[in-house]
A and B are shown apart, each in its own frame.
Chain A
Amino acid sequence: MRVAFVGKGGAGKSAIAGTFARLLARSGRPVLALDSDPMPGLAFSLGLRTSDAAIPEDAVEERAQGETGPRYRLRAGLSGAEAVDRYAREAPDGVRFLQFGKLRGQEPAMMRSQMAFRQIVQDLPEDRWDVVGDLPGGPRQAAFGWAPYARTLLLVVEPMTKSLLTGRRIARLAAGMKSAPAVLAVVNRVREPGDVERVKQATGLEVVGAVPWDEELAEAERRTLAPIDHAPASPAVRAIESLVHELAGESHR
Protein backbone atom coordinates (compact mmCIF):
# COMPACT_ATOMS: atom_id res chain seq x y z
CA MET A 1 0.00 0.00 0.00
CA ARG A 2 1.25 3.47 -0.81
CA VAL A 3 -0.80 6.34 0.48
CA ALA A 4 -0.27 10.02 1.26
CA PHE A 5 -2.48 12.05 3.55
CA VAL A 6 -3.45 15.46 2.19
CA GLY A 7 -5.92 18.17 3.20
CA LYS A 8 -6.23 21.56 4.79
CA GLY A 9 -3.89 22.59 7.61
CA GLY A 10 -5.22 21.29 10.90
CA ALA A 11 -7.58 18.81 9.23
CA GLY A 12 -6.03 15.96 11.21
CA LYS A 13 -3.60 14.53 8.63
CA SER A 14 -0.74 13.90 11.04
CA ALA A 15 -2.89 12.49 13.82
CA ILE A 16 -4.53 10.07 11.42
CA ALA A 17 -1.39 9.24 9.40
CA GLY A 18 0.68 8.34 12.47
CA THR A 19 -2.05 6.16 13.91
CA PHE A 20 -2.64 4.59 10.50
CA ALA A 21 1.06 3.74 10.09
CA ARG A 22 1.27 2.13 13.54
CA LEU A 23 -1.86 0.04 12.96
CA LEU A 24 -0.69 -1.05 9.53
CA ALA A 25 2.64 -2.15 11.03
CA ARG A 26 0.79 -4.11 13.71
CA SER A 27 -0.99 -6.00 10.97
CA GLY A 28 2.42 -7.30 9.94
CA ARG A 29 3.37 -5.00 7.09
CA PRO A 30 6.78 -3.32 6.79
CA VAL A 31 5.88 0.37 6.99
CA LEU A 32 7.78 3.47 5.98
CA ALA A 33 6.25 6.70 7.29
CA LEU A 34 7.28 9.90 5.51
CA ASP A 35 6.80 13.43 6.81
CA SER A 36 7.34 16.13 4.23
CA ASP A 37 5.86 18.96 6.28
CA PRO A 38 8.41 21.64 7.21
CA MET A 39 6.37 22.08 10.40
CA PRO A 40 6.53 18.43 11.27
CA GLY A 41 3.79 16.65 13.19
CA LEU A 42 4.03 13.01 12.21
CA ALA A 43 6.78 12.07 14.67
CA PHE A 44 4.52 12.83 17.63
CA SER A 45 1.55 10.88 16.38
CA LEU A 46 3.87 7.93 15.70
CA GLY A 47 5.07 8.09 19.26
CA LEU A 48 8.55 9.51 18.74
CA ARG A 49 9.63 12.22 21.13
CA THR A 50 11.95 13.91 18.70
CA SER A 51 10.60 15.78 15.74
CA ASP A 52 13.93 15.94 14.00
CA ALA A 53 14.89 13.09 11.73
CA ALA A 54 16.26 14.94 8.78
CA ILE A 55 18.76 13.43 6.38
CA PRO A 56 22.27 14.16 7.66
CA GLU A 57 24.59 16.56 5.89
CA ASP A 58 27.11 13.98 4.83
CA ALA A 59 24.50 11.99 2.88
CA VAL A 60 24.03 14.91 0.54
CA GLU A 61 26.27 16.39 -2.12
CA GLU A 62 26.14 19.50 -4.20
CA ARG A 63 25.67 18.64 -7.85
CA ALA A 64 28.79 19.12 -9.94
CA GLN A 65 28.98 21.78 -12.64
CA GLY A 66 27.25 20.58 -15.77
CA GLU A 67 25.19 17.90 -14.02
CA THR A 68 21.47 18.52 -14.49
CA GLY A 69 18.90 18.54 -11.70
CA PRO A 70 18.42 20.40 -8.44
CA ARG A 71 21.40 21.84 -6.62
CA TYR A 72 21.73 19.04 -4.06
CA ARG A 73 21.42 15.29 -4.40
CA LEU A 74 22.13 12.14 -2.46
CA ARG A 75 25.77 11.18 -2.18
CA ALA A 76 26.86 9.31 -5.32
CA GLY A 77 26.13 5.61 -5.06
CA LEU A 78 23.53 5.95 -2.31
CA SER A 79 20.12 4.62 -3.41
CA GLY A 80 16.78 5.64 -1.96
CA ALA A 81 16.42 2.27 -0.22
CA GLU A 82 19.90 2.46 1.30
CA ALA A 83 19.22 5.97 2.51
CA VAL A 84 16.07 4.71 4.25
CA ASP A 85 17.99 1.81 5.78
CA ARG A 86 20.61 4.15 7.12
CA TYR A 87 18.74 7.27 8.09
CA ALA A 88 15.14 6.38 8.84
CA ARG A 89 14.37 6.32 12.56
CA GLU A 90 12.78 3.34 14.20
CA ALA A 91 9.35 4.22 15.61
CA PRO A 92 7.18 1.93 17.76
CA ASP A 93 5.71 -1.21 16.16
CA GLY A 94 8.68 -1.29 13.80
CA VAL A 95 7.59 1.67 11.68
CA ARG A 96 10.50 3.32 9.88
CA PHE A 97 10.28 7.10 9.85
CA LEU A 98 11.90 9.65 7.59
CA GLN A 99 11.41 13.38 7.58
CA PHE A 100 12.42 15.96 5.04
CA GLY A 101 13.82 18.42 7.50
CA LYS A 102 12.20 21.18 9.42
CA LEU A 103 12.42 24.92 9.04
CA ARG A 104 15.33 26.18 11.03
CA GLY A 105 17.64 29.12 11.00
CA GLN A 106 20.04 27.65 8.48
CA GLU A 107 18.33 27.61 5.14
CA PRO A 108 21.11 25.73 3.22
CA ALA A 109 21.06 22.77 5.62
CA MET A 110 17.34 22.41 5.16
CA MET A 111 17.56 22.63 1.40
CA ARG A 112 20.14 19.86 1.37
CA SER A 113 17.94 17.61 3.43
CA GLN A 114 14.81 18.37 1.44
CA MET A 115 16.39 17.82 -1.96
CA ALA A 116 17.76 14.49 -0.73
CA PHE A 117 14.37 13.55 0.67
CA ARG A 118 12.73 14.33 -2.64
CA GLN A 119 15.17 12.07 -4.40
CA ILE A 120 14.61 9.25 -1.90
CA VAL A 121 10.85 9.28 -2.34
CA GLN A 122 11.25 9.16 -6.11
CA ASP A 123 13.54 6.17 -5.79
CA LEU A 124 11.73 3.79 -3.43
CA PRO A 125 11.67 0.13 -4.46
CA GLU A 126 8.18 -1.00 -5.45
CA ASP A 127 7.34 -3.54 -2.82
CA ARG A 128 9.69 -3.31 0.08
CA TRP A 129 7.60 -1.06 2.28
CA ASP A 130 4.05 0.05 2.59
CA VAL A 131 4.42 3.81 2.44
CA VAL A 132 2.39 6.29 4.51
CA GLY A 133 3.08 9.93 3.68
CA ASP A 134 2.03 13.01 5.64
CA LEU A 135 1.94 16.17 3.53
CA PRO A 136 1.68 19.79 4.65
CA GLY A 137 -1.66 21.58 4.46
CA GLY A 138 -3.05 22.72 1.13
CA PRO A 139 -2.52 21.56 -2.43
CA ARG A 140 1.03 22.74 -2.93
CA GLN A 141 3.16 19.65 -2.30
CA ALA A 142 0.83 17.15 -3.89
CA ALA A 143 0.74 19.34 -6.96
CA PHE A 144 4.49 19.75 -7.15
CA GLY A 145 5.45 16.13 -7.00
CA TRP A 146 6.42 15.55 -3.37
CA ALA A 147 4.40 12.36 -3.12
CA PRO A 148 5.33 10.49 -6.31
CA TYR A 149 5.12 7.20 -4.41
CA ALA A 150 1.41 7.61 -3.63
CA ARG A 151 -1.02 5.38 -5.46
CA THR A 152 -3.78 6.81 -3.34
CA LEU A 153 -4.18 10.27 -1.86
CA LEU A 154 -6.23 10.12 1.30
CA LEU A 155 -7.89 13.48 1.51
CA VAL A 156 -8.67 14.36 5.12
CA VAL A 157 -11.71 16.65 5.13
CA GLU A 158 -13.84 18.15 7.81
CA PRO A 159 -17.48 18.81 7.01
CA MET A 160 -16.73 22.54 7.03
CA THR A 161 -16.74 25.04 4.19
CA LYS A 162 -13.03 25.87 4.02
CA SER A 163 -11.96 22.28 4.49
CA LEU A 164 -14.34 21.16 1.73
CA LEU A 165 -13.18 23.89 -0.62
CA THR A 166 -9.56 22.91 0.00
CA GLY A 167 -10.51 19.28 -0.59
CA ARG A 168 -12.07 20.07 -3.93
CA ARG A 169 -9.00 22.02 -4.99
CA ILE A 170 -6.67 19.16 -4.09
CA ALA A 171 -8.87 16.62 -5.86
CA ARG A 172 -8.90 18.81 -8.97
CA LEU A 173 -5.11 19.14 -8.94
CA ALA A 174 -4.62 15.42 -8.31
CA ALA A 175 -6.55 14.67 -11.47
CA GLY A 176 -3.81 16.42 -13.44
CA MET A 177 -0.85 14.90 -11.60
CA LYS A 178 1.66 12.88 -13.57
CA SER A 179 1.37 9.87 -11.26
CA ALA A 180 -2.47 10.14 -11.39
CA PRO A 181 -3.19 8.82 -7.88
CA ALA A 182 -6.68 7.80 -6.84
CA VAL A 183 -8.24 10.26 -4.40
CA LEU A 184 -10.39 8.98 -1.55
CA ALA A 185 -11.91 11.04 1.23
CA VAL A 186 -11.50 10.44 4.95
CA VAL A 187 -13.99 12.52 6.89
CA ASN A 188 -12.54 13.79 10.15
CA ARG A 189 -14.12 15.34 13.25
CA VAL A 190 -17.47 13.78 12.45
CA ARG A 191 -20.00 15.16 14.93
CA GLU A 192 -23.40 14.53 13.45
CA PRO A 193 -25.06 11.99 11.18
CA GLY A 194 -25.17 14.22 8.08
CA ASP A 195 -21.42 14.95 8.11
CA VAL A 196 -20.29 12.09 5.91
CA GLU A 197 -23.00 12.78 3.35
CA ARG A 198 -22.05 16.45 3.33
CA VAL A 199 -18.48 15.55 2.37
CA LYS A 200 -19.66 13.14 -0.33
CA GLN A 201 -21.89 15.79 -1.83
CA ALA A 202 -19.37 18.60 -1.67
CA THR A 203 -16.35 16.71 -2.97
CA GLY A 204 -17.91 14.08 -5.21
CA LEU A 205 -15.35 11.65 -3.78
CA GLU A 206 -15.74 8.16 -2.43
CA VAL A 207 -15.52 8.21 1.37
CA VAL A 208 -13.35 5.37 2.75
CA GLY A 209 -13.25 6.38 6.38
CA ALA A 210 -15.03 8.49 8.96
CA VAL A 211 -13.23 9.52 12.13
CA PRO A 212 -15.40 10.94 14.89
CA TRP A 213 -14.60 14.02 16.91
CA ASP A 214 -12.68 12.55 19.83
CA GLU A 215 -11.53 14.49 22.86
CA GLU A 216 -8.93 11.75 23.50
CA LEU A 217 -7.02 12.87 20.41
CA ALA A 218 -6.79 16.40 21.69
CA GLU A 219 -5.76 15.08 25.09
CA ALA A 220 -3.05 12.92 23.50
CA GLU A 221 -1.66 16.03 21.86
CA ARG A 222 -1.70 17.99 25.12
CA ARG A 223 0.33 15.22 26.71
CA THR A 224 2.66 14.82 23.71
CA LEU A 225 1.61 11.21 23.29
CA ALA A 226 0.70 9.28 20.17
CA PRO A 227 -3.09 8.82 20.01
CA ILE A 228 -2.60 5.05 19.72
CA ASP A 229 -0.51 4.99 22.92
CA HIS A 230 -2.69 7.40 24.85
CA ALA A 231 -6.09 5.96 23.95
CA PRO A 232 -5.84 2.76 21.88
CA ALA A 233 -9.52 1.94 22.32
CA SER A 234 -10.84 5.44 21.65
CA PRO A 235 -13.47 5.87 18.92
CA ALA A 236 -11.06 7.79 16.66
CA VAL A 237 -8.35 5.13 16.84
CA ARG A 238 -10.97 2.45 16.20
CA ALA A 239 -12.18 4.34 13.15
CA ILE A 240 -8.63 4.57 11.82
CA GLU A 241 -8.32 0.82 12.35
CA SER A 242 -11.36 0.33 10.12
CA LEU A 243 -9.72 2.55 7.54
CA VAL A 244 -6.59 0.39 7.58
CA HIS A 245 -8.69 -2.75 7.09
CA GLU A 246 -10.68 -1.12 4.33
CA LEU A 247 -7.54 -0.22 2.37
CA ALA A 248 -5.28 -3.14 3.24
CA GLY A 249 -7.65 -5.57 1.53
CA GLU A 250 -7.09 -3.89 -1.81
CA SER A 251 -3.61 -4.55 -3.11
CA HIS A 252 -3.71 -1.81 -5.75
CA ARG A 253 -3.94 0.94 -3.14
Chain B
Amino acid sequence: MKVAVVGKGGSGKTTTSAIVARTLGRRGLGVVALDCDTNPNLGISLGIGEVETDRLVSMRENLDEGAEQHAPGWNDLISRFGTDGPDGVRLAVVTRIENPEPG
Protein backbone atom coordinates (compact mmCIF):
# COMPACT_ATOMS: atom_id res chain seq x y z
CA MET B 1 0.00 0.00 0.00
CA LYS B 2 1.30 3.47 -0.88
CA VAL B 3 -0.70 6.51 0.16
CA ALA B 4 -0.03 10.23 0.01
CA VAL B 5 -1.88 12.65 2.29
CA VAL B 6 -2.63 16.06 0.77
CA GLY B 7 -4.70 19.12 1.67
CA LYS B 8 -4.64 22.76 2.74
CA GLY B 9 -2.09 23.99 5.26
CA GLY B 10 -3.21 23.39 8.81
CA SER B 11 -5.95 20.99 7.82
CA GLY B 12 -4.39 18.03 9.63
CA LYS B 13 -2.29 16.22 7.02
CA THR B 14 0.64 15.54 9.31
CA THR B 15 -1.46 14.41 12.25
CA THR B 16 -3.55 12.14 10.02
CA SER B 17 -0.45 10.68 8.35
CA ALA B 18 1.15 9.90 11.69
CA ILE B 19 -1.91 8.15 13.10
CA VAL B 20 -2.41 6.11 9.92
CA ALA B 21 1.27 5.12 9.91
CA ARG B 22 1.29 4.04 13.54
CA THR B 23 -2.01 2.21 13.23
CA LEU B 24 -0.62 0.20 10.32
CA GLY B 25 2.58 -0.38 12.27
CA ARG B 26 0.60 -1.77 15.21
CA ARG B 27 -1.08 -4.20 12.89
CA GLY B 28 2.31 -5.59 12.06
CA LEU B 29 2.93 -4.01 8.69
CA GLY B 30 6.34 -2.62 7.80
CA VAL B 31 5.72 1.11 7.47
CA VAL B 32 7.83 3.89 6.04
CA ALA B 33 6.62 7.40 6.78
CA LEU B 34 8.00 9.92 4.31
CA ASP B 35 7.91 13.57 5.24
CA CYS B 36 7.81 15.48 1.96
CA ASP B 37 7.14 18.88 3.52
CA THR B 38 9.97 21.40 3.21
CA ASN B 39 8.98 22.29 6.76
CA PRO B 40 9.11 18.76 8.15
CA ASN B 41 7.07 18.15 11.30
CA LEU B 42 5.95 14.56 10.88
CA GLY B 43 8.37 13.33 13.53
CA ILE B 44 6.53 15.30 16.18
CA SER B 45 3.18 13.73 15.35
CA LEU B 46 4.76 10.27 15.18
CA GLY B 47 6.12 10.77 18.68
CA ILE B 48 9.83 11.00 17.92
CA GLY B 49 10.10 14.28 19.79
CA GLU B 50 10.95 17.81 18.88
CA VAL B 51 14.70 17.70 19.23
CA GLU B 52 15.09 14.53 17.19
CA THR B 53 12.64 15.77 14.55
CA ASP B 54 14.59 18.96 14.04
CA ARG B 55 17.86 17.07 13.87
CA LEU B 56 16.78 14.55 11.29
CA VAL B 57 19.13 14.80 8.40
CA SER B 58 17.30 14.98 5.17
CA MET B 59 17.99 12.51 2.42
CA ARG B 60 18.64 15.11 -0.18
CA GLU B 61 21.26 16.93 1.83
CA ASN B 62 23.06 13.66 2.32
CA LEU B 63 22.92 12.93 -1.36
CA ASP B 64 24.10 16.39 -2.29
CA GLU B 65 27.03 16.17 0.07
CA GLY B 66 28.17 12.65 -0.71
CA ALA B 67 29.94 11.97 -3.97
CA GLU B 68 27.75 9.02 -4.94
CA GLN B 69 28.86 6.90 -7.84
CA HIS B 70 25.38 5.53 -8.50
CA ALA B 71 22.03 6.87 -7.50
CA PRO B 72 21.20 4.78 -4.42
CA GLY B 73 18.02 2.73 -4.41
CA TRP B 74 14.94 3.25 -2.28
CA ASN B 75 15.77 0.62 0.32
CA ASP B 76 19.28 1.88 0.65
CA LEU B 77 18.10 5.45 1.21
CA ILE B 78 15.55 4.47 3.81
CA SER B 79 17.97 2.35 5.75
CA ARG B 80 20.74 4.93 5.68
CA PHE B 81 18.79 8.10 6.36
CA GLY B 82 15.64 6.97 8.10
CA THR B 83 14.98 6.92 11.84
CA ASP B 84 13.07 4.32 13.81
CA GLY B 85 9.97 5.61 15.51
CA PRO B 86 7.30 4.02 17.72
CA ASP B 87 5.27 1.02 16.49
CA GLY B 88 8.04 0.09 14.08
CA VAL B 89 7.42 3.06 11.80
CA ARG B 90 10.54 4.21 10.00
CA LEU B 91 10.63 7.94 9.29
CA ALA B 92 12.57 9.62 6.50
CA VAL B 93 12.64 13.29 5.57
CA VAL B 94 12.90 14.09 1.88
CA THR B 95 14.02 17.68 1.97
CA ARG B 96 14.39 20.69 4.19
CA ILE B 97 15.06 24.37 3.65
CA GLU B 98 18.23 25.20 5.46
CA ASN B 99 19.53 28.46 4.04
CA PRO B 100 18.11 31.58 2.49
CA GLU B 101 18.70 32.22 -1.17
CA PRO B 102 22.31 33.31 -1.55
CA GLY B 103 21.70 36.00 -4.16
Contact indicator B41/A165 (Cβ below 8 Å): yes
- In the complex, the chain A residue whose C-beta lies closest to that of B41 is A162
Within 8 Å by CB of B39, from A161, A166, A176, lies: A166
Query: Which residues in chain A, 150-208, are within 8 Å of chain B measured between CB atoms?
Result: 161-162, 165-166, 169, 173-174, 176-178
Contacts of A162 in B (CB 8 A): 14, 41, 44-45
Contacts of B36 in A (CB 8 A): none
Contacts of A10 in B (CB 8 A): 8-11
Q: Kindly state the interface size class of chain A when it binds its partner.
A: 20 to 34
Contacts of A177 in B (CB 8 A): 100
Contacts of B45 in A (CB 8 A): 162
The CA of A10 and the CA of B13, in the complex, are separated in Å by 11
B contacts with A, residue count (CB < 8 A): 19
Contacts known (A9-B10, A39-B9); A143 close to B41, Cβ less than 8 A: no
- In the complex, the chain B residue whose C-beta lies closest to that of A170 is B39
Contacts of A138 in B (CB 8 A): 9, 37-39, 97
Contact indicator B39/A143 (Cβ below 8 Å): no
Contacts of A178 in B (CB 8 A): 100-101, 103
Contact indicator B101/A145 (Cβ below 8 Å): yes
